[in-house]
Amino acid sequence: MSFDWQPVWLTLKLASVTTIFLLMIGTPIAWWLSQTESRFKHAISAVVALPLVLPPTVLGFYLLVFLGPNGPGGQLTQALGIGTLPFTFSGLVFASVLYSLPFVVQPLQNAFEALGKRPLEVAATLRASKSDRFFNVAVPLARPGFLTAMVLGFAHTVGEFGVVLMIGGNIPGETKVLSVAIYDHVETLEYGQAHLLSAGMIGFAFTVLLALYLLNGRVSRGEAG
């Protein structure tokens, strides 16, 4: 029984690229939510958390409509010369960022809120600018939150199915990720391959979560010491 590594590498590539974008987008959102007293805070929090309660196929369907050739997103990307995003790797990244956003924003927001106001106030009295306070005070102190956000964002992207199937389809080498490959094997009654990939994903999930708990425990003990 030959093993097709292509979905594995494509999934790892998707999860890596998505995690980078999640940190770039999720960090300022989490920081703003942790610091603001705006009346729109709860509304923005609800929008960010929507993927936690929406069926993945619902999000995938509306992304397909939005990014399709007749949707506003699709018309914009075509006008920019990018083409349409559905059924491309770029489309998978876009959908994955939206779907995994709460798994990055919420840990970061909790970490920033746990800092309290005092460290930033002390830095302000030392004439540190807002950017200095963020990068040199808030970010280092929120390191466990960043670690959790990175791991959860990466792992959640690896385990996606409904959204990636709706927006990416099943194109070998382009959009056929691990979860879709497992679905394919089950549909064609290739249970041996399905068992192999599924067992690998279970082992991956367990290893990631175990490493996260161990690292967070070590960081906590180091800070306490």
Cβ-contact 167, 118 below 8 angstroms: no
Per-residue pLDDT at 225: 53
- Tens of pLDDT, residue by residue, the chain (225 residues): 566 788 889 999 999 999 999 999 999 999 999 998 889 999 999 999 999 998 898 999 999 999 999 999 999 999 998 889 999 999 999 999 999 999 999 999 999 999 888 888 888 888 888 888 888 889 998 988 999 999 999 999 998 898 999 999 888 888 999 999 998 889 888 888 888 889 988 998 888 888 888 877 766 565 555
The model's pTM is: 0.88
How far is residue 185 from each of residues 3, 76, 189, measured CA to CA in Å?
12, 36, 6
Phi/psi region, residue 86 (left: phi>0; alpha: psi -120 to 50; beta: rest), is: beta
Q: How far apart are CA 12 and CA 5, in angstroms?
A: 11
Answer positive or negative: Cα dihedral of 147, 149, 152, 153: negative
219 CB-near residues (< 8 Å, 6+ apart): 143, 144, 147
Q: How far apart are CA 44 and CA 134, in angstroms?
A: 21
5-223, superfamily in CATH? Answer: MetI-like (1.10.3720.10)
Within 116-176, residue ranges assigned H as helices are 118-125, 130-133, 139-141, 143-158, 162-168
Q: How far apart are CA 70 and CA 149, in angstroms?
A: 35
How is the chain split into domains, by residue range? 5-223
